[in-house]
Amino acid sequence: MKNLIGKKVEKEVPFCGETVTIKKLSVSEVYEVQRLVTPPEPVKGSKTPVEPMDPMKIVNGILRIGVNDAENLTDEEFAGFPLDELNDLASQVMAYCGLAIDNESTDGVDTEGN
């Protein structure tokens, strides 16, 4: 198995009418994603509120890690893409590496009972 360490597993997926290549994330890359989605802890004794997490920074971070040739894109460059395309691509990256959340079962259904 040692010969497989670091092997890149990739596939092409549609994005904005073209195709891009996504990759399965390594364990260390999954840890990077976890750091992106974990809210910062408040400083003990500080009355300064913790800044809320910016969902676009999370999406952009996932894409930088999981999409070939996206690692150097700036937040401003990501802002030039359609939001739904970015979200779909981030979801595909997460699904490809086994970290997907199944949102289809609740689409259009009020799960809060409202």
Q: What is the pLDDT of residues 28-77, one digit of tens each?
A: 999 998 888 887 777 777 777 767 778 899 999 999 999 999 999 999 99
The residue range of the domain holding 14 is 9-34+52-100
What is the total count of domains within the chain? 1
Q: Is residue 4 part of a domain?
A: no
Q: Is residue 105 part of a domain?
A: no
Q: Is residue 2 part of a domain?
A: no
CB 63 within 8 A of CB 78: yes
Angle at 112 between CA 110 and CA 114, to 5 degrees: 70
Q: Is residue 66 part of a domain?
A: yes
pLDDT of residue 102: 53
Q: Is residue 73 part of a domain?
A: yes
Q: What is the pTM of this model?
A: 0.76
Does residue 86 have a pLDDT over 70? yes
Q: Is residue 44 part of a domain?
A: no
Instruction: Give the residue among 53, 56, 65, 80 at the shortest CA–CA distance from 27.
Output: 65
Q: Is residue 70 part of a domain?
A: yes
